[in-house]
Amino acid sequence: MYNAFFGFTLNPFNMSPDPSFLFRSRQHEEALANLIYGVQSRKGFILLTGEVGTGKTTMLECLRDFLNAQQIAFASLFNSRLTVAQFFEMLAYDFDLNCNRLSKTEVLLTLNHMLLERTAAGRTTVLIVDEAHNLEWDVLEEIRLLGNLENRKGKLLQVVIAGQQELDAKLDQPQFRQLKQRISLRCALRGFDAGESAAYINSRMARAGVRDQKIIPLEIIEEIHYRSQGIPRLINAICDNLLLTSFAMVCRTTTLEMLDEVTADMRLEYPERPSFQQDRCIPDHSLR
């Protein structure tokens, strides 16, 4: 809507996990390197956790791009509200297994056969599970059993599991003990620090065609960082609404008043700013 007004060729704060907008913060770079390393070196179970909106799905999209480029076969589980039967049907569909996809036994046999053949040929096969914190116990248990399949060369199926922090708590429960023990590589995402938030906002604007942007001045970026706690999805939502408000007011530079309006409309909750008066060092005469 506001793209032409600000000179963008595409929407800079699109909400989709689009790898072409990837901002390589150190933690994202590290997480992606870990996922790729874990898959390539057949580590078995790899866990990616992080608060909602920190970039987990974006990392998985980047991993998928890598797997496609390397012609590594993978199946992706997005819908975490699956039953066991639906899970096996989906596996059969994604791996294009030639069997009765509604029969768990047939799917398992065919999958096992395929995995053995691929491993013998030195090829890697991956299962990617997003939103795993929502998965039912029985589906997670099936995933654990699949990830256990191995021959002398190592695990037959590499399993990347991503989910919100509740997943860590879930894995701490006694019934998930076995799965927890099998996780050989862990990575976690958190919000950006102030410098990263600024670089992130500027990089998205540059990707959308506006370099050295002055539309959102640095002091507003700092405030956006504070109010979003550096969570990329919140930064996107705030910036998108901010640009829309600025556009509606035919103003090419965003202001603090606009930001206040936007975050109030979003009902965004963020910690109280510490009062500088209280923080300032006032000599305490009572100690004398």
Phi-psi region of 78 (alpha: psi -120 to 50; beta: other; left: phi over 0): alpha
Please give the Cα distance from 122 to 257 (Å, whole number).
Answer: 59
CB of 47 to Mg ion, least distance (A): 14
Interface with ligand ADP (CB under 6 A), residue total 19
- Output DSSP code: residue 75: E
Q: Does 53 bind ligand ADP (CB under 6 A)?
A: yes
Query: Interacting stretch for Mg ion, rule CB under 5 A, among 55-63, 105-113, 195-203, 223-231?
Result: 55-63
Q: Does 57 bind Mg ion (CB under 5 A)?
A: yes
Torsion of CA 250, 253, 256, 262, to 10 degrees: 50
Closer CB to ligand ADP, residue 59 or residue 108?
Answer: 59
Please give the Cα distance from 279 to 254 (Å, whole number).
Answer: 30
CB of 231 to Mg ion, least distance (A): 12
Q: Does 207 bind ligand ADP (CB under 6 A)?
A: no
Q: Does 54 bind ligand ADP (CB under 6 A)?
A: yes
Among positions 34, 38, 44, 58, the unique one binding ligand ADP when judged by CB under 6 A: 58
Please give the Cα distance from 52 to 27 (Å, whole number).
Answer: 16
Element (H, E) at 92: helix 84-94
Among Mg ion, ligand ADP, none, residue 43 binds (CB under 5-8 Å by kind): none
Q: Does 95 bind ligand ADP (CB under 6 A)?
A: no
CB 33 within 8 A of CB 171: no
Q: Does 133 bind ligand ADP (CB under 6 A)?
A: no
Query: Interacting stretch for Mg ion, rule CB under 5 A, among 6-14, 53-61, 228-236, 279-287?
Result: 53-61
Among positions 202, 232, 239, 240, the unique one binding ligand ADP when judged by CB under 6 A: 232
Please give the Cα distance from 9 to 128 (Å, whole number).
Answer: 33
Please give the Cα distance from 31 to 33 (Å, whole number).
Answer: 5
What is the residue whose two structure tokens read 């608060």? 51
**One character per residue 10-29, x = contact with ligand ADP (rule: CB under 6 A):** -----x-xx--xxx-x--x-
Give the chain's end-to-end CA distance (angstroms, integer): 64
Which residues are at the interface with ligand ADP (CB under 6 A)? Answer: 15, 17-18, 21-23, 25, 28, 50, 52-58, 232-233, 236
Which residues are at the interface with Mg ion (CB under 5 A)? Answer: 56-57
